[in-house]
Every structure is written in C-alpha cells, then in structure tokens.
Amino acid sequence: MNPTEHELIAHVRLLDRQAGNLKRRGFAYRNYYDFLAREGAFFAPADCSLRLAPRQCFFNALLLAIVRGFPYVEGMGIGPHGGPPHHHAWNLDGVGRVIDPTWQRGRGYLGVQFSAERANIATWDRDASVLQDPTHALLRDLWVPEPSPGHVGDLLRKIASDALSDPETAPGFAEHGVTDVDALVDLYYRMAVAA
C-alpha cells in the first residue's frame, strides 16, 4: 500500500469509528465508511483530458456512465492539490484506469463500482449519492457487485423525463428551449461529446 492509499483507508476507518452503527438494527454494514473499507478497491490516478463541470463529480460521473458507457465508481478521493480525502465519484475506462472529468487527475482513489441505474436513482430520486442514500439500501445486505451495462439509452430517457417533470429543474431547461425528452437527451449527448 502506497502512502496515498494508506491515507485514504486511514481516513475512511476514522470516519467509520465516528459514524453510527446500523449493524445493531440488523444491517450488514455499520455505515457507509464500513462498507467502503470492506468492499472498496484502490484505483491508480490517471490523466484525463475530459473536463466537465467543476464540483459536480456525481453528475459528471453519472453522465459519462450513461452517455459513454464508462463504469461509475464512488468512494473517497484525494484531489490534485492534496488535502483531506473527499467523497467523490469518477469513471473507469475499458482497462480499469480512472477517468475523472471533475479533477482531471486526483492523487488517489478508493471506491466501489456501481451500476448507472443505482447512481441514477440515488442522484435524481433521492437527492443524494450512492454512498449517502438516506434509505441505507446499500448497507442492508452483503454486497454483490453490479453489472455496468455500457450505453443505457432507456436510462438516459428516464433521467431526461424525470428532470423535465421536476418543478425545480424544468423551468431552467425551458429557459434554454429544452421542453421535451428528445431535446434533453440530445443536450446530454452534446455535453458528453463536447467534453
């Protein structure tokens, strides 16, 4: 284990000790940090030429998972300028290298690969991320890795439909002339291709 990986796992274990214990209620994991410490893997930093919205890692990783088919990973990362580990999301390429359109190249990553469907539900339906899902669904049973199906056009259409029916987001899309699902799907594709 290199020093950055040691720093990541030590930080996760510290947060695990400070967080609540859901195992008392019959859960398989004490909390999300226990889950990450037990099920997470280290990912080596790699340069990434894709640049998407700063400070929007969960949306950026979900967008690339849906539009480009890159596996979605969520966990803890140390940013390009160091500092303490942060809750973060990124993607993987076809050989398992990090694609991080938010930081371009972090110093280290510890995470778990999730399906784009799970990330979508947590992000749009629960206003959270996979690891911070308020239902704690991920912690109830022992983890079984999920498939990452690549391009998921049906999921992209569902995300577009949900965004257009949400009273908080729909007006913003309408201001830009996006009023139907097909137009929003096209916008998502253009955003990912331009990245």
Tokens, residue 66 = 């849906």
Report DSSP letters for 142-189, one per residue: ---PPP--S--HHHHHHHHHHHHH-TTTHHHHHHTT--SHHHHHHHHH
Q: Are residues 145 and 158 in the same domain?
A: no
Residue 111 pLDDT: 97
In this prediction the pTM is 0.77
Q: Are residues 140 and 158 in the same domain?
A: no
Q: Are residues 38 and 72 in the same domain?
A: yes
Q: Are residues 62 and 120 in the same domain?
A: yes
> Which 3 state secondary structure label does DSSP give 42?
strand
The per-residue pLDDT for range 95-130, each reduced to its tens digit, is 788 999 999 999 999 999 999 889 988 887 767 899
Q: What angle do CA 130, 33, 12 make, to 5 degrees?
A: 125
pLDDT digit string (tens) for the chain, length 195 residues: 899 999 999 999 999 999 989 888 899 999 999 999 999 999 989 888 888 888 899 999 999 998 888 999 999 999 999 899 999 999 998 778 899 999 999 999 999 999 988 998 888 776 789 999 888 889 999 999 886 554 445 566 667 777 778 777 777 777 777 777 667 766 665 665 454
Q: Are residues 88 and 159 in the same domain?
A: no
Q: Are residues 185 and 131 in the same domain?
A: no
Our count of domains for the chain comes to 2
Q: Are residues 81 and 127 in the same domain?
A: yes
Q: Are residues 42 and 99 in the same domain?
A: yes
Q: Which domain holds residue 180?
A: 152-195
Contact 75, 112 (CB under 8 A): yes
Rounded (10°) angle between helices 32-39 and 3-18: 150
Q: Are residues 64 and 92 in the same domain?
A: yes
Contact 99, 48 (CB under 8 A): yes
What are φ and ψ of residue 153, in 5° steps?
-60, -40
Q: Are residues 131 and 186 in the same domain?
A: no
| CA-CA-CA-CA torsion sign (63, 85, 97, 40) | negative
Q: Closest Cα partner for 178 from 55, 58, 166, 154?
A: 166
Q: Are residues 19 and 106 in the same domain?
A: yes
Q: Are residues 166 and 144 in the same domain?
A: no
